[in-house]
Amino acid sequence: MIRELYAFLFEPLLVPVDHRVEKAMALAGLEGRDLGIFYREFQKMDKYHSERVTLPQFYRCIEEKRSRLGDAIFEILQIDYSEGITFGEFLHAIILMCMFESKEVIQLLFFVFDNDKNGFIDGEEIESMIGVFSKISDEKNAIKFNIPPDGKLEFDEMERLIKSHKQVKYATFSMQNKMMSKFNGHSWWRKNKLRLQRLAE
């Protein structure tokens, strides 16, 4: 069921609210008036008023190249993006990514490379991961990585690998940083997270 809320951003704006919008609002502690900046951007993309936008449009909106990490945010939310995404799906993905702590962003990347979802990265998965990371790094900052004796890379090891290579670390958090900059700014998200933490105490 979809209801509508008025969001005030210079002028009243009627925003469609479904269960995903409600989940996103609860996750970030948003009120109806906070939705305006998100819905304005969605409307800019939705030129034909179909109430859906394509994934390429979504990536252009946040000025980011399409990536497996970006697509994964929709997958963990069980969003079928083959025929585009609704405003609720658009908002839910952005809010979740922006609310992630750094460890959770790396966990999402681990989810991407762990193709068989067995809790570790091994075999061809490791080769795929090193291939992606090597493309990010230049010759001076080549990826130095020792494959574990058992051939299985666990999350803690991947986390150390990412944090020890500046270019890989930058690329890992690029999408989140661009989302936060576009929607309200880093300061707003930081303050909002602190506010929610205090409320939870």
CATH number of 3-99, picked from 1.10.12, 1.10.3470, 2.30.29, 1.10.238: 1.10.238
Q: What is the pLDDT of residues 35-90, one digit of tens each?
A: 988 999 999 999 899 999 999 999 999 999 999 899 999 999 999 999 999 999 99
Please tell me whether the overall predicted TM-score, pTM, comes out greater than 0.85 for this model. yes
CATH of domain 103-170: 1.10.238.10
Domain range summary for the chain, segments of one domain joined by +: 3-99, 103-170
Cα(103)–Cα(155) distance, integer angstroms? 10
Same fold, 3-99 and 103-170: yes
Helix locations, the chain, DSSP H: 19-28, 36-45, 55-61, 68-76, 87-99, 102-113, 124-136, 155-163, 166-182, 186-200
Residue 192 has pLDDT above 70, yes or no: yes
- Give the whole-angstrom CA distance, residue 60 versus residue 47: 14
pLDDT at 169: 92
Q: Which residues pair with 53 in a beta bridge?
A: 85
